[in-house]
Amino acid sequence: MPGSAGYNIPTRARLDLATAERELQIARDDLHCNAVRLIGLEVDRLVQVAQRALALGLEVWLSPALWGRPPDETLHYDVSAAERAEELRQQHPDRFVLVLGSELTLFIQGIMPGGDFAARTREAFTRIKAGDRSANDRLNDFLGRASTAVRGVYHGPLTYASLIWEDVDWARFDLIGVDHYRDARIKDRYVEMLQPLLTLGKPVINTEFGMRTYRGAESDGTLGFGVADQKRVGLHHLPLVGRFVRERLNGDYVRDEAMQARELTETLTILDAAGVDGAFVAEFVTAGAMFSLKPRYDLDMNAFALVKSYRHGKGTTYPDMNWEPKKSFHAVANYYAAH
């Protein structure tokens, strides 16, 4: 199973290409990745980082993402991004995949009712419990229109990063992508949920999975939403007021890097044994989730990242970087090196 890692471009307010290239180099040489999934809103930024990754010999899964907008606007964005993707694909035809959206039942307006991601998520689970699968028809209608339009300008491998419970018409895609986290609520049927996809005769890639870094994250059932104090996070990002509100966790938690490392390698082992063709660990760095010695303000405990970011200063393993590898970095690196 190929070694790969997610690399989320919007985690930094300003794109520093030298830093991005250095991190990609570390992902290739020390984490032993052969592919990266690049996710972000600003296509120009994605393309610039993708060019660096391709130049380093990495396979790129480009994932332009317009979150929370209506279908027609999203479709226009997808086609525009696909035009840029085709330019990259022509230069590196054997190392490029375009991801046509991610978890759109929740991240696009009009498929699931609700004014924002949280509301759509609540509505989705209510409907699933009631046996209402009508959102799948709306999802496949959009994916049908979008894939046809995108293939008009992009001529390489195409996939979609689905939720495990989205019933996607995979005939439209070259590869099957699924964001599949081993959350406590589904651990006993984690592989079972993949089986219908593994029988379709196409490569199956886990396009996103990860584990947070606080004790109990593997068993408390809040993996998808985390433990940040969302009110304070929202206030922190407001103009002016935000300078006086410090982000923090919503309770008292204990840092547990060993658990994160163990869970990631266990999941990689399980996916490999199940016959999955590849997996992207989420994520290499979450630059906005700063590490702190004060547990209540240690936002890295809420992060999936393989490295902990410092607000001030540099790391010791990589003195040119403002982060330090966590135990999960070394565990994933060892797994990828051996497989």
The total number of residues written for the chain in this structure: 339
pLDDT at 3: 56
Task: List pLDDT tens digits, range 106-131.
Answer: 999 999 988 888 888 888 888 888 88
> Which band of pLDDT confidence, cut at 50, 70 and 90, is reported for residue 9?
very low
With CA atoms as reference, report the closest residue to 165 among 153, 147, 145, 183. Answer: 183
pLDDT at 130: 86
pLDDT at 260: 97
pLDDT at 13: 73
Q: What is the mean pLDDT of residues 26-48?
A: 95
For the chain, which domains are there? 3-218+255-291+303-338 (3.20.20.80)
pLDDT at 4: 60
* Burial status of residue 125 (CB atoms within 10 A of its CB: 0-12, 13-18, 19 or more): exposed
Above 60 in pLDDT, residue 2? no
Task: List pLDDT tens digits, range 62-107.
Answer: 999 998 999 999 999 999 999 999 999 999 999 999 999 999 999 9
Ramachandran region, residue 38 (left: φ > 0; alpha: ψ -120 to 50; beta: rest): beta
Task: List pLDDT tens digits, range 169-201.
Answer: 999 999 999 999 999 889 999 999 999 999 999
Beta-bridge mates of residue 97: 61
Above 70 in pLDDT, residue 1? no
Report pTM: 0.94
Task: List pLDDT tens digits, range 274-316.
Answer: 999 999 999 999 988 999 999 999 999 999 999 999 999 999 9
Above 70 in pLDDT, residue 6? no
- Residues 6+ positions from 256 with CB-CB distance below 8 Å: 213, 214, 215, 216, 217
DSSP state of 9: G
With CA atoms as reference, report the closest residue to 97 among 207, 9, 209, 208. Answer: 207
59 preceded by a cis bond (ω within 30 of 0): no
Above 90 in pLDDT, residue 235? no
| pLDDT > 70 in the chain, percent | 96
